[in-house]
Amino acid sequence: MVSRRIESVPRVLPAAAIGLLAVVLAVAGCSGEPYAYTQVSGRVTYEDGSVIPAARVKVTFVSQAPPVDKKIVPRPGVAEVDPATGKFQTVTSHTYGDGIIRGEHKVLVEALSATNIRLPLVAPEYANIAKTPLRVDTKDSPFEIKVPKPQAR
């Protein structure tokens, strides 16, 4: 018969673990993000309700919230639209699926090929932050974003 001697483990380990947990929670609670995010969804179509016939449709939400300072500015949110339905569910600004900053946004809509080349299926002003007429407010989600069909040439 073999006897084993069990030595006691110092009680410092649990205290250290609790201290580490407290630091992790404090850092997580103070991420430094000055803006509040909210999840939004919606649909992007032509004015007649038909979907934009592109391999990819990208929607960008540009917050109109003022910057905190020169280094801390609101990040835009980006969503990929389902080309079959025109719907989008997941918008990412900072981390995947976090949504967009609460409040008003200018909206950009781009129709893209499978290789990310911009297609002339949406008027150019809808992809230009200075010219886009599209605006939304997060309190109005889910959004119905409509763009005119391009003129036949």
Domain ranges of the chain: 37-147
Least confident piece of the model among 18-22, 119-123, 144-148 = 18-22
In order of 20, 48, 78, 91, 116, the CA distances from 99 in angstroms are 30, 27, 9, 5, 23
Q: What percent of the chain has pLDDT over 90?
A: 73
Q: Can you give the pLDDT at residue 32?
A: 59
* Mean pLDDT of the region 48-59: 97
Strands (E), the chain: 37-38, 42-46, 56-63, 77-81, 87-88, 91-92, 100-101, 104-112, 135-137, 143-147
Residue % of the chain over a pLDDT of 70? 78
Which of 114, 101, 110 lies closest to 141, judged by CA? 101
Considering only the top CATH level, what class is 37-147? mainly beta
Residue 12 clears pLDDT 90, i.e. is over it: no
Model pLDDT, residue 151: 79
Residue 26 has pLDDT above 50, yes or no: no
Per-residue pLDDT for 113 more than 50? yes
Entry pTM: 0.77
